[in-house]
Amino acid sequence: MGGLNLNQVGFLLVTGASRGIGQTMAVECAKVMKPGSLILLLARSAAGLESTKGEILRANDRVTIVTASVDLSEPSKEALEGIVTKALANSSKESFQYALMIHNVGTLGDVGKWAVDMDNQAIWREHFAMNVFSVAILNAVFMATFPETKKFIVNVTSKAAIEPFPSMSLYCSSRAAREMYFRCLAAENPTICVLNYSPGPVDTDMAADIRTNSIDPELKTTMTGLFTSGNLVTRQQTTKKFIQVLQEGAFASGAHTFMFLTKLAWNSRTTLPLLITAVFLAMDFRMQVELDLHMENQDFQNDGSVDDLEDDESGSSSDYYYDSDSSITNEEEEPDHQEIREIHRIQLGIQ
């Protein structure tokens, strides 16, 4: 569909914008937005939203920022419509060259229980209301608000949406449902761009919760190892990659776009492509040398065959003949092939 040039007058809505990845994405996107742009930040924590707002204004004081403290575990279409309408009260929707919404809101859920022990319906309902239902309702409001504007919708997803992790049944289930919803949204609306962006194992409060509270010892060990070795991805790293992916637009709308960068991979992002190129060049050079040697050897064998035939025709005492594989063979080397070789002798006119 083509990428998004953030360096225009645009509308940006970010949920879960008070901390973590949502905060970093809001700040980094806002840095390049042009004067007249409007940014709407949603989260539970009013203090966290003010912190994000302050960071944005220090980076770009030419944009307008509106914050709204809202509990998305009890989503209401009317309430969300009211928030968006109020934010746009002093702006003209027609002035925006694009509208971008980033769904970063998300909760991990209880990782201290196995799936079979998750028997409280109220917990399931609240978790899905926050992580799935609010997202669907906010999308409906967003689509209705900007019917003509070029729209980009981002779902900050997870590998947990496509792969099970023990002790994370709540999170995996809601992420899978949420991602499939976005895939359906993309299939139904080919004129909008939907990005399911998986940021990788990022160093966030959620990652800390898993390594501290997960009932699964293997998962705890894995997450602890990533943390202690310094191989968790930083928010800045994954946000930089996210903006690159969004701007280039080289992804299928609705497809799962997985970002898994360890610090080792990040530090090797320049040298690794050069190393791969060098390996391919070396392989190509070796193949070319082997081909040249093979051709020279074939030329040598062909020259030798003609000379031997001429000697034989001139009455030389050597009893050689031309075999089917274009090599010169002694008559008594393989007596079991006498009949075939005799035919070849006749075809070549050798008596």
* Across 106-115, 193-202, 318-327, least confident range: 318-327
3-state secondary structure of 307: helix
Lowest mean pLDDT of 16-25, 191-200, 287-296, 297-306, name the range. Answer: 297-306
pLDDT above 80 (res 338): no
Kindly compute the dihedral angle of the four CA atoms of residues 231, 237, 243, 248, in this order, to the nearest 10 degrees.
-60
Across residues 246-270, what is the average pLDDT? 69
Is residue 195 within 8 Å of residue 153, measured between CB atoms? yes
Fold (CATH) for 10-263: Rossmann fold (3.40.50)
For residues 1 and 299, give the distance between their C-alpha atoms in angstroms, rounded to a whole number. 55
Per-residue pLDDT of 24-38, as tens digits, reads 999 999 999 999 999
Least confident of 156-165, 171-180, 217-226, 327-336: 327-336
Rg over alpha carbons for the chain, rounded to the nearest Å, is 34
- Count CB neighbours of 238 within 10 A: 26
What's the mean per-residue pLDDT of the chain?
84
Q: List C-alpha distances in Å: 293 to 281, 286, 288, 299, 304.
A: 19, 11, 9, 10, 17
Measured from the Cβ of residue 122, the count of other Cβ atoms closer than 10 Å reads: 7
What region, left, alpha or beta, does residue 76 occupy, with left being phi > 0 and alpha being psi -120 to 50 degrees? beta
Q: Which residue has the tokens 């190129």?
A: 277
Phi, psi of 92 (to 5 degrees): -100, 120
Q: State mean pLDDT over 6-35.
A: 98
Sequence-distant (6+) residues with CB within 8 A of 39 are: 11, 12, 13, 14, 26, 30, 33, 56, 63, 64, 65, 66
Percent of the chain with pLDDT over 70: 73
pLDDT at 282: 62
Mean pLDDT to the nearest integer, 130-156:
97
Stated pTM of the model: 0.74
More confident residue, 278 or 156: 156
Max avg pLDDT among 112-116, 254-258, 259-263, 321-325? 112-116
DSSP 103-156: E--------SS-GGG---HHHHHHHHIIIIIHHHHHHHHHHHH-SSS-EEEEEE
